[in-house]
Amino acid sequence: MFGVPGDYVLSLMDEIVGSEIELVGTCNELNAGYAADAYSRVNGIGAACVTYAVGGFSILNAVAGAFAERVPVIVLCGGPNRGDRDLHRQLHHTLGDYGVQVDVFSHVTQRSVGLTSGDAAPDEIDDAITACVRHRRPVFIEVPADLVSEACRAPAPIDFDLHPVSEPDVLAEAVNEAAEMLAKAEKPVVLGGVEVHRFGLGEQFEALLDHLDWPMATALMGKSVIRETHPNYIGVYSGALSEENVRRAVEEADVVLSIGAWMSDIDLGIYTARIDVGRMIHAGADRVQIKRHHFDDVYLGDFIVGLRDALPKKSARAPRIEPAAISLFEPFESDPNAKITIDRFYQRINHFLGDQDVVLADAGDSFLCAGDLIMHEGVGFICQAFYCSIGFSIPGALGVGLADRDRRPVVFVGDGAFQMTAQELSTLIRSGLTPVIFLMNNRGYTVERVIHDGPYNDIQNWRYHELARVFGGGFACEVRSEGDLETALAGVLEHSDELSFIEIHLDPDDCSAALKRLGAALAEQRFS
């Protein structure tokens, strides 16, 4: 549980400190929220604990991100004593209306509740936790300081294996129609999406894929739903942003079987995606769309299993497409004196990632570039490809590192994003974690320069690599050439028991080809 203390929440924090839960203090509340979100993406659920108003409103943006991206996070928040509320006292941190926090959070959570009595608390808490798990969305629970020590009955056990429930007849009809359409397909493709991950359906999905033996792409949001060394995995699809062979495989397929994918602007390459809805089966968490009609109350997990049972094994009709993992076999030869560029950097990093790594790519060019990295067996890829709140990755690395100390967070973050939440580097060091952080210093908001430039896209340049020392330690260095990069990566291996911070100096106008295409598309959409 990540949090920041404050007087209204100290009594609650005492209970947490005395429990089996580890309470991890962050520098501020927004960062606690990001850390809890990233923790949840690895371990299935996350939690944060903050004080009234000043803490609650500060964590709101992280909670909104978890809501948008369906990440289950429980936010506990202290509050004024009930007696003080009844007297309408002008207490510090308050705004006149004591209910304001619960109201505000009702807009960005599945459930927002203010506890009022020991009698009602067990049910109210259980309802909130259940809603959080069932819908994969954050919930908010406000706890008056004086309620913490009040007696209440023991709570009932909670079933954490919650998900939407299928109507059997609707499920059967949807599976039958989809199977019939797929059985006739000659050039099918599978599109794997984020909800496979959120509902823990990775195994079922991989079993379906092995059964069908069809080419499979993911959207950026769904990247790493299965290991990307899988022979059927061909790469990330997002319209005109995609590599050519992936784009053609998806757009020229006669049936696209989309399993848990989202159709957001970025996942659709800013609406440059050309998928004919008349050739599409689109299964979401609790609903299947075939062509232009919908089946409600069909749970994604049931649909995946149903399809596997209904379809013949290894259809010979599917075309063979070069697996994405082939890029791992392209040798990288370093040119020590060459200035480092974005393209060459990521080509090199593709060979650097290990089997236990979790990549965190911040919103911007970082996630577009990192989308082409190959995630090995068990490698995770975490980014906010839909909500896109920059600054997520540094506190996110804290969440990932504490969710599983055997996995190494590898962060790609631009300088603009880094400045948002830079202080949380300190908590990574304090917690004894060993992330590798690549700070891509291109002197400003490059993603926005490409969309639409102006003086607002320039930022103050920092001596970024010196921050680790200021915050307490770790290995840090600067990279200007390919030779520097090799030295830096050797240093990372030598210092595998501590945090590594590598500042990569880039030209301000160096960015991925994908970003240039995205920028043009966004600029056209925004200003047309």
Contacts with a second copy in 392-421 (CB under 8 A)? 419-421
Query: In the bound complex, what is the minimum distance in angstroms from residue 186's beta carbon to a second copy?
Result: 30
Query: Nearest distance from residue 329's CB to a second copy, in Å?
Result: 34
Task: Identify the three-state secondary structure at position 54.
Answer: coil
Residues 55-84 that bind a second copy (CB under 8 A): 57-58, 60-61, 64-65, 67-68, 81, 84
77, two tokens: 């928040």
Stretch that binds a second copy, among 274-282, 450-458, 490-498, 507-515 (CB under 8 A): 450-458
Query: For the CA atoms of the chain, what is the radius of gyration?
Result: 24
Nearer to a second copy, 383 or 411 (CB): 383
Interface residue with a second copy, options 313, 337, 455, 497 (CB under 8 A): 455
Residue 364 DSSP one-character state: T
Residue 479 found at the interface with a second copy (CB under 8 A): no
Output the smallest distance, CB 390 to a second copy, in A: 7
Residue 387 interacts with a second copy (CB under 8 A)? yes
Cβ–Cβ contacts within 10 Å for residue 519, how many?
21
Give the residue with the Cβ less far from a second copy, 362 or 482: 362
* E-state strands within 400-472: 408-414, 436-441
Can residue 97 be called a binding residue for a second copy (CB under 8 A)?
yes
Determine which residue in the list 386, 412, 438, 501 makes contact with a second copy, applying CB under 8 A: 386
Beta partners for residue 188, in sequence order: 255
Q: Which of 213, 458, 478, 486 binds a second copy (CB under 8 A)?
A: 458
Alpha helices by DSSP H, listed for 213-360, are: 244-251, 300-310, 342-350
Report the relative pairing of strands 357-361 and 380-382 from DSSP bridges: parallel
Tell whether residue 430 is a contact of a second copy (CB under 8 A): yes
* Interface region with a second copy, contact rule CB under 8 A, candidates 243-251, 296-304, 365-373, 446-454: 446-454
Half-sphere exposure of 312 (CA within 13 A, CB side): 11
Candidates 74, 108, 488, 511; binder of a second copy (CB under 8 A) is 108
Nearest to a second copy of 40, 426 (CB atom): 426
Are residues 133 and 164 in contact, defined by beta-carbon separation less than 8 angstroms?
no
Strand order in the sheet with 139-144: 24-25, 2-3, 46-50, 73-79, 139-144, 111-114
Q: Does 299 bind a second copy (CB under 8 A)?
A: no
Q: Contacting a second copy (CB under 8 A), which of 20, 95, 313, 337?
A: 95
Question: Is 35 one of the binding residues for a second copy (CB under 8 A)?
Answer: no
The number of residues that bind a second copy (CB under 8 A) is 89
SS3 at position 112: strand
Q: How far apart are CA 214 and CA 319, in angstroms?
A: 8
Figure out which of the listed residues 456, 487, 493, 496 binds a second copy, where binding follows CB under 8 A: 456
Q: From the CB of 475, what's the least distance to a second copy, in Å?
A: 17
340 contacts: CB under 8 Å, gap ≥ 6: 479, 480, 481, 482, 484, 485, 504, 505, 506
Question: CB within 8 A of 49, min separation 6: which ones?
Answer: 1, 2, 3, 9, 12, 13, 16, 23, 32, 75, 76, 77, 78
CB 370 within 8 A of CB 385: no
Candidates 36, 40, 46, 94: give the one binding a second copy (CB under 8 A): 94
Least distance between a second copy and beta carbon 353 (Å): 26
Q: Is 92 in the site for a second copy (CB under 8 A)?
A: yes
State the Cα–Cα distance between residues 90 and 95, nearest whole angstrom: 8
When asked if residue 277 is in the footprint of a second copy (CB under 8 A), the reply is no
Q: Tell me whether residue 87 or residue 156 sits nearer to a second copy (CB atom).
A: 87
| Interaction residues for a second copy, span 244-273 (CB under 8 A) | 262-266, 271
Q: Does 451 bind a second copy (CB under 8 A)?
A: yes
Query: Among residues 469, 494, 508, 524, which is the contact residue for a second copy, using CB under 8 A?
Result: 469
Q: At what angle do helices 56-68 and 29-43 cross, to 10 degrees?
A: 30
Q: Which CB sits closer to a second copy, 276 or 524? A: 524
466 binds a second copy (CB under 8 A): yes
- Told to check if 434 binds a second copy by CB under 8 A, we report no
* Contact call for residue 522 and a second copy (CB under 8 A): yes
By beta-carbon proximity to a second copy, the closer residue of 54 and 310 is 54
Whole-angstrom distance, CA of residue 241 vs CA of residue 273: 9
415 burial via Cβ count (<10 Å: 0-12, 13-18, 19+): buried
Would you state the structure tokens that stand for residue 268, as one six-digit string? 């659709």
Residue 498: CB minimum distance to a second copy, A: 15
